[in-house]
């Protein structure tokens, strides 16, 4: 496999266009002044809370179909988008390459959780 193929294989997360659009959205509104890492993290946490609220009293079966059920699908999509937006914006402000972070973390997790000891086992790697 040549270098170009290897680089394409390692692209797990491509949020460059979204990051540029979110940066422009914030700049156009003069919101950079409010987009400190702390503020973005708190906003992200709030959006995760709003997503969690949708699922709060659902059973497992109902929760699995929440993204497709008429009563909840749009709210699930909206809150997932909000979570994504704040995550991508936070990464941009912190100058973190989300793809590089994801590739590295996936490799790290593969070492922590080898198939031989993790298959069908939910025990955390440091509790085995």
Q: Token pair 């994801």 is at which residue?
A: 102
At 2, the pLDDT band (50, 70, 90 cuts) reads low
Contacts of 80 (CB under 8 A, 6+ apart): 51
Q: Return the percentage of the chain with pLDDT > 90, whole number.
A: 85
For the full predicted model, state whether its pTM sits above 0.75. Answer: yes
Identify the three-state secondary structure at position 1.
coil
Structural fold of domain 15-118: Helix Hairpins (1.10.287)
Six-digit token string for 58? 């659902």
Q: Where are the domains positioned within the chain?
A: 15-118
pLDDT in tens, 22-76: 999 999 999 999 999 999 999 999 999 999 999 999 999 999 999 999 999 999 9
pLDDT in the model for residue 125:
77
pLDDT in the model for residue 66:
98
Contacts of 36 (CB under 8 A, 6+ apart): 93
- Provide the mean pLDDT of the chain: 93
């Amino acid at each position: 496999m040549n270098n170009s193929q290897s680089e394409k294989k390692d692209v797990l997360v491509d949020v460059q266009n979204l990051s540029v659009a979110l940066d422009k959205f914030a700049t156009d509104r003069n919101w950079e002044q409010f987009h400190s890492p702390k503020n973005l993290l708190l906003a992200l946490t709030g959006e995760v809370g709003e997503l969690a609220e949708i699922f709060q009293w659902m059973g497992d079966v109902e929760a699995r179909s929440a993204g497709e059920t008429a009563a909840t699908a749009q709210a699930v999509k909206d809150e997932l988008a909000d979570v994504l937006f704040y995550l991508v914006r936070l990464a941009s402000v912190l100058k973190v390459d989300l793809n590089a972070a994801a590739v590295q973390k996936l490799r790290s997790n593969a070492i922590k959780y080898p198939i031989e000891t993790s298959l069908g086992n939910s025990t955390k790697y440091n509790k085995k």
